[in-house]
Structure 1
Amino acid sequence: MVRSIFLRGFDQDMANKVGDYMEDHGIKFIKKYVPKKIEQIKKGTPGLLKVTAHATEGSEIFQGEYNTVLLAIGRDACTRKIGLEKVGVKINEKTGKIPVNDVEQTNVPYIYAIGDVLEGKLELTPLAIQAGRLLAQRLYGGSKKKCDYVNVPTTVFTPMEYGACGYSEEKAIEKYGVKNIEVYHSYFWPLEWTVPSRDNNRCYAKVICLIPEKQRVIGFHVLGPNAGEVTQGFAAAIKCGMTKDLLDSTIGIHPVCAEVCMRLAKMLSTFFPLVYLLVLM
């Protein structure tokens, strides 16, 4: 059951491809509904549960019976009862998250916050560890290095892995404008899938480049086997300022999944297919 969209906060082109792949492999999604009531109608193992859900758009009601119900409801920041108000630290009253500046400083200059409680930051353990280390080095070691909250490699371990680093296409357009963004992409077929003829052209990779900065890669996204392993290496290259030209001039290792990233093609705008159809007519 999906309340609104797949993988909120991630690139929605990639998120929808993840959803399509899962649907094609037997997962049924009930979209734009939220559960309102769960009733036990039969005891035992596995037993039977009745779920009643309401549509998020409209007044429709959905009911279904299942052996097992798993609630993936997310998490809240438990900051409301730890005495922050006594020292004047402001929080987002709706989410409990703590706003900070670019050095993790709260509105109270001598109080800092790191990790999952930060407002607008990714909730990832390795990121929190890195932020803590850098904060300690700034406070006690004379360092000025800040934590990079943009070029953070991460992986969603869906049935077909999704790895990402940097901006989503939506965020890149929001920050830099559509005219300053170029997207390159390609589908690919992993070698280990070719013999059984499994899922041709379902794996996918794309990079988002910033045109005014010599096509610097500001977003990397890959959907396929071992996407996390692939993403980790490219994350280092992105932090080094990798451009599309450097990517294209790198020799790919054949036959591995990451090879596709050295031959990504420009994504056509929606205008081009229209012109093509008119010519055919």
Structure 2
Amino acid sequence: MSDYDFDLFTIGAGSGGVRASRVAAAHGAKVAVAEEYRVGGTCVIRGCVPKKMLVYGAHFAEDLEDCQAFGWTIEKAEFDWVKLRDNVQKDVSRIEGLYTETLENHDVTIFNEHAKITGPNEITLEDGTVKTARYILVATGARPRIPGCGGAELGITSNEAFHLDKLPKKILIAGGGYIANEFAGIFNEFGVHVTIINRGDQLLRSYDESVRDRLLQISVMKGIEFRFNAEFQSISETENGCLKVEMSNFDPLEVDCVLYATGRVPQTENLGLEDVGVELDENGAIKVDEHSRSSVDSIYAVGDVTDRIQLTPVAIREGQAFSDTVFGDKPTTVDYSCVPSAVFSHPPIAAVGMTESEAKNKLGSVKVYQSDFRAMKNVVAGRNERSLYKMICDGDSGKIVGIHMIGPEAPEIMQAAAIAVKAGLTKDDFDATVAIHPTMAEELVLLK
């Protein structure tokens, strides 16, 4: 009989925590999960899932406009934000129920309250109950970063953006990353006047320069305004109920809403980590080894709380690898090379592997192939919006080391292309593949 209440106690029921708990239970472990908010975590409740649903809703704005060139006439098309918001939240609740059901079907005990680590093998729940576990897994994710300017409390984050009572007429979005650009595209399509401010001079710094420059050009063409090298100085309320934003290098701006999308911070506060000897890095993330073990042998961590790669599929792989290693007698590590990613902007961006500049710095000799084209649908609709596909290859071997795309359905196309890059295929392998015509994806096997 075990000396502990549980073999595994997971703190946080997001994507990584749920996967780890379910797999550990399938391996025969007795498992508990503590979740103080809602089962599903950032991705399901206030991230990827509801965001993608809003992206779908936003696409109809352009589709309704473009459909006229294809012979359709739609009278009095109107947009109802509250209806979309409520339908999205309804489906979020449905998925939350499925996640909960998955845990319950694997006999995982769920505690719907905050949990704190009070010893290497001890957890104290919010109601004072103490539980013990052979292993503790921290999977508490990350939270939005809030700027430190005066009046910062007047703004919102992506967490609150999904629950707005009504759409603002003007919104200021702070940040240059994927969250900022995604919400900028969404709100712009809904008819909101959008201004992005960024303290640097670039958008999406980790992406290839060609595709991020193209997104900037298209975004400006769609009416989104940008203010670079601008930092918050203060936010205050005006007499007419607006928000006045003071910033460096630019005149003040009055808007109805300020949305912070300035990065995410590992959620490690009030967990008792440092008290039990768990080491954190300078950003507050839990330091872990290749098997997700912290500086305390019995305590592990997966997902955004470790700040390795803040992506849901990565957290899921880390959770799977943890449970297979610890409970499945199958030591497994996660390969962080060639992780594909996407920005669900308008139009979306997708990427895998090295950018052109990274490849030149690392490999020296590179060959770049690209296609700059207008999707057939955009041609017929009269929409002057060009897609760009770019392939980076090792100049000596021809091995593909990176693919970067911006255009309709780029993330859907990239998922298959990423397999080829991960497998180490060459430009010749792509050239030898017959195109599917007419498609946008065929440009990948026709690159010059």
> Shorter-chain TM-score: what band?
0.7 to 0.9
Alignment of 1:35-114 (within 5 A): 35-43=232-240, 47-54=241-248, 60-93=249-282, 95-114=283-302
Deviations 1:185-212 (A, max 9, x none): 1112211111123225x21011222345
Count of residue pairs the alignment pairs up: 251
Deviations 1:86-141 (A, max 9, x none): 33322112x1123333333334454332111224x321112101221122112232
Partner residue in 2 for 1:273: none
Mapped partners of 2:269, 2:229: distance in 1: 30
Partner residue in 2 for 1:271: none
Mapped partners of 2:439, 2:277: distance in 1: 54
Amino acid at match of 2:371: S
Mapped partners of 2:271, 2:286: distance in 1: 13
Alignment of 1:69-218 (within 5 A): 69-93=258-282, 95-119=283-307, 121-174=308-361, 176-179=362-365, 181-199=366-384, 202-212=386-396, 214-218=397-401
Q: Is the alpha carbon distance of 1:42 and 1:170 closer, same or farther for their aligned partners in structure 2, counting shifts above 3 Å?
A: farther
Amino acid at match of 1:210: D
TM-score scaled by structure 2? 0.52
Partner residue in 2 for 1:6: 203
Calculate percent identity across the aligned residue pairs. 34
Partner residue in 2 for 1:233: 416
Mapped partners of 2:412, 2:424: distance in 1: 20
Q: Is the alpha carbon distance of 1:109 and 1:242 closer, same or farther for their aligned partners in structure 2, counting shifts above 3 Å?
A: farther
C-alpha displacement of 1:80:
4.2
Mapped partners of 2:400, 2:335: distance in 1: 15
Residues 291 and 332, structure 2, Cα contact 8 Å, conserved in 1: no
Give the gaps of 5 or more residues in structure 2: 1-196
- Match of residue 222, structure 2, among 25, 28, 45: 25
Of structures 1 and 2, the one scoring higher in RCO (CA 8 A, sep 6+) is 2
TM-score scaled by structure 1? 0.81
Q: Is the alpha carbon distance of 1:204 and 1:241 closer, same or farther for their aligned partners in structure 2, counting shifts above 3 Å?
A: same
Q: Is the alpha carbon distance of 1:90 and 1:188 closer, same or farther for their aligned partners in structure 2, counting shifts above 3 Å?
A: same
Tell me which moved more, 129-138 or 60-69: 60-69
Amino acid at match of 2:233: K
Residues 90 and 107, structure 1, Cα contact 8 Å, conserved in 2: yes
Q: Is the alpha carbon distance of 1:108 and 1:167 closer, same or farther for their aligned partners in structure 2, counting shifts above 3 Å?
A: farther
Q: RMSD of the alignment, in Å?
A: 2.1
